[in-house]
Amino acid sequence: MTDFATDAPQGPFGPAPPAAPDAEQTQTINVLPGGPPVRLVGGPPPGAATIESRGAHAWFGDHLVLEDVNIAMPPGEVTALIGPSGCGKSTFLRLLNRMHELVPSASLAGEILLDGEDIYRPGIRAQQVRMRIGMVFQKPNPFPAMTIRDNVLAGLKLARIKCSDKGGLVEQSLLRAGLWREVRDRLGSPGGALSGGQQQRLCIARALAVQPNVLLMDEPCSALDPTSTRRIEETIGELRHNVTIVIVTHNMQQAYRVSDRCAFFLAAENEPGRVVEQGATETMFSAPEDQRTLAYVEGQFG
Amino acid sequence: MVAALAPTVESTARPALPARRRPREFTAVDYGTIVGSALSALTLTWLIFARLTDGVGWLGFLVVAYVAFLALFGLVTADRIGVLAAKDRLATVTITSGAMLLLAPLLWLVGYVVVKGLPGLRPSFFTHDMRGVTPTMPASAGGGLHAIIGSLQQVGLALVITVPLAVSTAVFLNETRSRLRRPVRVVVDAMSGMPSVVAGLFIYATFVIPYGGQIDLFGFNGFMAALALSMIMLPTITRTVEVVLRLVPDGLREASLSLGASRARTVWSVVLPTARSGVTTAVVLGIARAVGETAPLLFTAFGYRLINSNPFANPQESLPLFVFRSITQPQQSMIDRGFTGALVLMLVVLALFGLARFLGRDRSRSRRRTGQAPAMPTGADIFEALPGPGAPVSVAQKGS
């Protein structure tokens, strides 16, 4: 068992984190088999990362909304967070990439370890964390003032990452998000001109272009029709080996289809949300230990 | 009977569609009812005022005629298609006539200036100043080029000063969590209520009186006028830009931050470009506020009969000053020249509006296919969201 408390932590699943978090990282990615490689300077380190929460609590003002969450999300796997509305799933997801602190009254306790390193420790910048941990939101939110191409490249511009071949990166990101064939002839048209499902895949491509180690998805399909949902689930299936995915979903079938692991959140009335049960998806759906999990996955409440 | 079953072009001609129903539409009968009711109301009122009584003047005549018209129209429509529809049509007619009543003074105002100013609107007005023009010469002599140059320079300089200040103030008010936001907002509100003559006096007392004698830059000149105009424009543009920034969906800020952007970077690369057309509207409103101001220019630009194309030294004319001073002259030719100046002022405003709209047009909106993109604030949204003068600081937000 690796000791996470030491100063130079060694991640149990991935490579050791960089010694200095602000050091410029160079990552070379392959666009297409046989194609020229694309070099990114200043972006995240390569590969999927492990992310783990230890005793995570979250408050809004004096209101405790999340209590003692301990989940380890192994690299290259899809972890689904399930549970009824208002049980703290989204809050937990936002803890994982420091979006929680954007709410003025928000506070937290515990640790979130990215490759063994606490992302809330002093001396690490929130921007650095968010660059390594991408996010896809419930509502598609492409930048309306930018073209499709500029939307994909927005992360590079915003996080000041240098890129040797922008065209190649756009193609690679859109391919990974499963959108390339639909938009390759109109990369110059505005991102808002796409359908809802295409916009959401554009947002996935935008998040992937930065080459994050972890991708958080907050109910990415809740505003989409079944066809778009299937496309995005296929995209998740293709991405899972290169990036750790954490997905919040209200759709039990979706959680079953896409995830390797599941965590079931539940909040009793006037009590903070807690993790009732977690484990391999197969087990959670076939033989859960807790009666409440069984009732939820069978659709008896929630 | 294969041939009969096979559809042909003739046989697939669609059956006649049923007549379309639009329950709230005004039909020809409704318009006829309106005209008829109006005529009978007029004759009825004439009967009352001219034959049965001595009458109480034209205003009373109009009010009585209007009320009689509404009553007649409502009664006839209720008799024709029922009380419910009559109420609906009565409300429509009342609101429409109210809108027309409000529009009338505006059209009258514009029309008056156009009618009075058009005869003097010759090409020479745009190419000449008042050099050698004596009071006895006809209105066709001389022109307003010096005033046009002065107005454009003063408003242009004021924009250069104001836009960066106003946009950064608005960003401060909307994108930060500073404790100073409240006092700043109060100051901005107070400034927007400041009488414009005070702005002129302030600049006069601060720069022109103490330093004007020694330094040209602080004497009567276009730059001093631009400073005074800046004080008028600053609160207008700030408040409008603030409202515009508030209309930018929070989802876009979160998306930007989640990609690893700093807050400053988010404002610069995401929030401001998204609000681009709204910021343009704010600038247009600021121009509209400043370009017609006369009072702040009286003790700053001071006015001058000839072209002075250097705004940093010596008195300069501007269109409002030109209009003000021409119309107060006794000679008819000068008054006509003043009206032409007023017309040109309106045209300049129109041209600036057009230019700003062109520069800030929404390129992403023209080819939009679906309505699913995050809503961007448009001019209409801004006017909806803008508080009236003296309204409380907090603006009710739409859809957030």
pLDDT tens track for B307-325: 898 999 899 999 999 999 9
What share of chain B in percent tops pLDDT 90? Answer: 55
pLDDT at B15: 81
d(CA A3, CA B65): 92
**Cα–Cα–Cα angle for A254, A257, A259, nearest 5°?**
90
Model confidence at B262, pLDDT cuts 50, 70, 90, reads very high
Model confidence at B10, pLDDT cuts 50, 70, 90, reads low
Q: How far is A171 from chain B (nearest CA, A)?
A: 19
In the predicted structure, residue A18 carries a pLDDT above the cut 60: no
A58 near A24, Cβ under 8 Å?
no
The topology under which CATH files domain A26-297 is Rossmann fold (3.40.50)
The reply to whether A210 touches chain B by the CB within 8 Å rule is yes
Q: How far is B369 from chain A (nearest CA, A)?
A: 5
Q: Provide, as residue numbers in chain B, all residues whose Cβ is less than 8 Å from the Cβ of A143.
A: 252, 255-256, 270, 273-274
**Secondary structure of residue B316 in the 3-state scheme:** strand
- Answer whether A191 sits within 8 Å of B373, measured CB to CB: yes
CA A226 to chain centre: 21
pLDDT at B155: 94
The reply to whether A134 touches chain B by the CB within 8 Å rule is yes
| Residue A176: CB atoms within 10 Å | 19
- In chain A, where the domains are located: 26-297
The reply to whether A144 touches chain B by the CB within 8 Å rule is yes
pLDDT at A3: 41
Name the residue in chain A with its Cα closest to that of B276. A145
The mean of the pLDDT values for chain B is 85
Total beta-carbon pairs less than 8 A apart between chain A and chain B? 115
B338 near B327, Cβ under 8 Å?
yes
Mean of the pLDDT values across residues B178-203?
Answer: 93
Please state, in angstroms and as integers, the Cα–Cα distance from residue B328 to each residue in B113, B142, B225, B321, B335, following that order.
Answer: 16, 17, 21, 11, 7
- Answer whether B372 sits within 8 Å of A140, measured CB to CB: yes
**Secondary structure of residue B302 in the 3-state scheme:** strand
- In chain B, where the domains are located: 28-119, 145-361+379-385
Tell me, letter by letter, the H, E, C secondary structure of chain A. Answer: CCCCCCCCCCCCCCCCCCCCCCCCCEEEEECCCCCCEEEEECCCCCCCCCEEEEEEEEEECCEEEEEEEEEEECCCCEEEEECCCCCCHHHHHHHHCCCHHHCCCEEEEEEEEECCEECCCCCCCHHHHHHHEEEECCCCCCCCCCEHHHHHHHHHHHHCCEECCHHHHHHHHHHHCCCHHHHHHHCCCEHHHCCHHHHHHHHHHHHHHCCCCEEEEECCCCCCCHHHHHHHHHHHHHHCCCCEEEEECCCHHHHHHHCCEEEEEECCCCCCEEEEEEEEHHHHHHCCCCHHHHHHHCCCCC
Tell me the residue length of chain A.
302
Rg (C-alpha) for chain A, rounded Å, is: 19
pLDDT at A206: 94
Amino acid at B165: L
pLDDT at B92: 93
pLDDT at B385: 53
- Answer whether B373 sits within 8 Å of A199, measured CB to CB: yes
Name the residue in chain B with its Cα closest to that of A136. B255
Mean of the pLDDT values across residues A235-264?
Answer: 91
pLDDT at B233: 94
Q: Which of A99, A158, A186 to mutate to test the interface with B (most CBs of B within 10 A)?
A: A158
In the predicted structure, residue B230 carries a pLDDT above the cut 70: yes
pLDDT at A270: 85
d(CA B385, CA B241): 11
The mean of the pLDDT values for chain A is 86
pLDDT at A47: 84
pLDDT at A30: 62
Please state, in angstroms and as integers, the Cα–Cα distance from residue B216 to each residue in A82, B97, B225, following that order.
Answer: 73, 56, 14
Q: Which helix (H) or strand (E) holds B288?
A: helix B276-291
Q: Provide, as residue numbers in chain B, all residues whose Cβ is less than 8 Å from the Cβ of A189.
A: 367
- Answer whether A141 sits within 8 Å of B273, measured CB to CB: no
Read off the pLDDT of residues A227-244 as tens digits, 9 standing for 90 and up: 888 988 998 998 888 899
pLDDT at B375: 47
In the predicted structure, residue A34 carries a pLDDT above the cut 70: no
State phi, psi for A123 to the nearest 5 degrees. Answer: 95, -5
Q: What is the distance between the terminal CA atoms of chain B, rounded to a whole angstrom?
A: 64
pLDDT at B199: 93
d(CA B122, CA A243): 72
Instruction: Give helix A166-176 / helix A226-239 axis angle, nearest 10°.
Output: 120
CA A78 to chain centre: 9
The whole-model pTM stands at 0.78
Q: How far is A279 from chain B (nearest CA, A)?
A: 28
In the predicted structure, residue A4 carries a pLDDT above the cut 70: no
Please state, in angstroms and as integers, the Cα–Cα distance from residue A23 to each residue in A45, A227, B262, following that order.
Answer: 10, 42, 17
What share of chain B in percent tops pLDDT 70? Answer: 87
pLDDT at A223: 81
Of A131, A145, A194, the CB nearest to B273: A145
pLDDT at A176: 85
In the predicted structure, residue B67 carries a pLDDT above the cut 50: yes
pLDDT at A33: 55
Q: Residues 71-130, chain A: which have Cβ within 8 Å of B?
A: 97, 99, 102, 104, 127-128, 130
Burial B190-216 (b: 16+ CB within 10 A, else e): ebbeeebeebbbbbbeebbeeebeeee
Model confidence at B341, pLDDT cuts 50, 70, 90, reads very high
Q: Which helix (H) or strand (E) holds B103?
A: helix B83-117
In the predicted structure, residue B11 carries a pLDDT above the cut 70: no
Of B266, B269, B374, the CB nearest to A141: B374
Q: Which of A143, A147, A246 to mutate to test the interface with B (most CBs of B within 10 A)?
A: A143
The CATH classification number of B145-361+379-385 equals 1.10.3720.10
Dig out the tokens for B140 from the structure.
């066709």
Please state which of the ranges A174-178, B157-161, B235-239, B373-377 shows the lowest mean pLDDT.
B373-377
Please state which of the ranges A9-13, A65-69, B3-7, B62-66 shows the lowest mean pLDDT.
A9-13
Mean of the pLDDT values across residues A60-88?
Answer: 92
d(CA A95, CA A109): 10
Looking at the DSSP bridge assignments, the partners of residue B282 are none
Of B256, B276, B374, the CB nearest to A158: B256
- Answer whether B259 sits within 8 Å of A159, measured CB to CB: yes
Mean of the pLDDT values across residues A189-208?
Answer: 91
